[in-house]
Amino acid sequence: MSIDSLGAAVPLAGGQGAAAPLPVPPAAAAPVPVLRSLTVRRPPMGENGLFDYFIRDDALVWSRRSDGMVGFGEAARFESAGRERFAAARAWWAAVAGAARVENPLAEPGTGLPAFASFAFSHASAHVSRLVVPELVVGRRGDTSWLTYTTADPGAELSVQAAEERLAVLLDEVSAEHELTRGGDRLVPGQVSEDGYRAAVAAGVAAIAAGKLTKLVLARDAVAELGSPVAVAQVLRELALRYGDCWTYAVDGLIGSTPEMLVEVVGRTARARVLAGTLDRAGAPAGDPGYAHRMLAGDEKQRHEHQIAIDSLTEQLGPLVERMDAPAEPFVLELPNVWHLASDVEARLPVRADGTSPSALDLAEALHPTAAVCGTPTAVAGALLRELEGMDRGPYAGPVGWVDAGGNGEFGIALRGGVVESPLRVRLYAGCGIVAASDPEAELAETWAKMRPMREAMNL
Ligand X SMILES: C=C(O[C@@H]1C=C(C(=O)O)C=C[C@H]1O)C(=O)O
Is position 277 an interface residue for ligand X (rule: CB under 6 A)?
yes
Tell me the site size for ligand X, rule CB under 6 A.
Answer: 17
Stretch of residues binding ligand X (CB under 6 A), selected from 29-37, 281-289, 344-352, 430-438: 430-438
Pick the closer one to ligand X by CB: 372 or 405.
372
| String of DSSP letters for 424-442 | TEEEEEEEEEE-TT--HHH
Residue 315 to residue 325: CA distance in whole angstroms: 13
- Smallest separation (angstroms) from ligand X to the CB of 449: 9
What part of residues 322-341 is at the interface with ligand X (CB under 6 A)? Answer: 340
Active-site residue, from 108, 135, 260, 365: 260
Q: Residue 114: is the preceding peptide bond cis (ω within 30°)? A: no
Is position 221 an interface residue for ligand X (rule: CB under 6 A)?
no
**Are 236 and 54 spatial neighbours (Cβ–Cβ below 8 Å)?**
yes
215 in active site = yes
Is position 222 an interface residue for ligand X (rule: CB under 6 A)?
no
User: Would you give the binding string for ligand X spanning residues 119-158, x where CB under 6 A is met?
Assistant: ----------------------------------------
Mark out the alpha helices in 69-193 (DSSP H runs): 85-99, 160-172
Is position 415 an interface residue for ligand X (rule: CB under 6 A)?
yes
Is position 398 an interface residue for ligand X (rule: CB under 6 A)?
no
Is position 393 an interface residue for ligand X (rule: CB under 6 A)?
no
Pick the closer one to ligand X by CB: 38 or 341.
341
User: In this chain, which of 147, 217, 230, 360 binds ligand X, going by CB under 6 A?
Assistant: 217
Residue 119 to residue 113: CA distance in whole angstroms: 19
Residue 359 to residue 96: CA distance in whole angstroms: 15
- Smallest separation (angstroms) from ligand X to the CB of 429: 6
* Count of Cβ atoms closer than 10 Å to residue 322 Cβ: 16
Stretch of residues binding ligand X (CB under 6 A), selected from 8-16, 79-87, 93-101, 425-433: 425-433
C-alpha neighbours within 13 Å on the C-beta side of residue 431: 31
Stretch of residues binding ligand X (CB under 6 A), selected from 159-167, 315-323, 359-367, 424-432: 424-432
Residue 361 to residue 87: CA distance in whole angstroms: 9
Mark out the alpha helices in 333-377 (DSSP H runs): 360-367
**Are 121 and 30 spatial neighbours (Cβ–Cβ below 8 Å)?**
no
Nearest to 267 by CA among 145, 141, 367, 351: 351
443 in active site = no
Beta strands at 36-42 and 101-103: parallel, antiparallel or unpaired? parallel
Residue 109 to residue 339: CA distance in whole angstroms: 30
Active-site residue, from 84, 135, 215, 446: 215
- Smallest separation (angstroms) from ligand X to the CB of 430: 4
- Smallest separation (angstroms) from ligand X to the CB of 191: 15
Stretch of residues binding ligand X (CB under 6 A), selected from 53-61, 276-284, 322-330, 357-365: 276-284
Q: Is 177 helix (H, G, I), strand (E, B) or coil?
A: coil
Is position 438 an interface residue for ligand X (rule: CB under 6 A)?
no
Is position 450 an interface residue for ligand X (rule: CB under 6 A)?
yes
Nearest to 429 by CA among 394, 378, 381, 387: 394
Residue 70 to residue 427: CA distance in whole angstroms: 23
Pick the closer one to ligand X by CB: 35 or 205.
205
Q: Is 119 helix (H, G, I), strand (E, B) or coil?
A: coil
User: In this chain, which of 215, 416, 427, 452 binds ligand X, going by CB under 6 A?
Assistant: 416
Binding residues for ligand X, per CB under 6 A? 217, 219, 260, 275-278, 340, 372-373, 415-416, 430-433, 450
Residues labelled catalytic: 215, 260
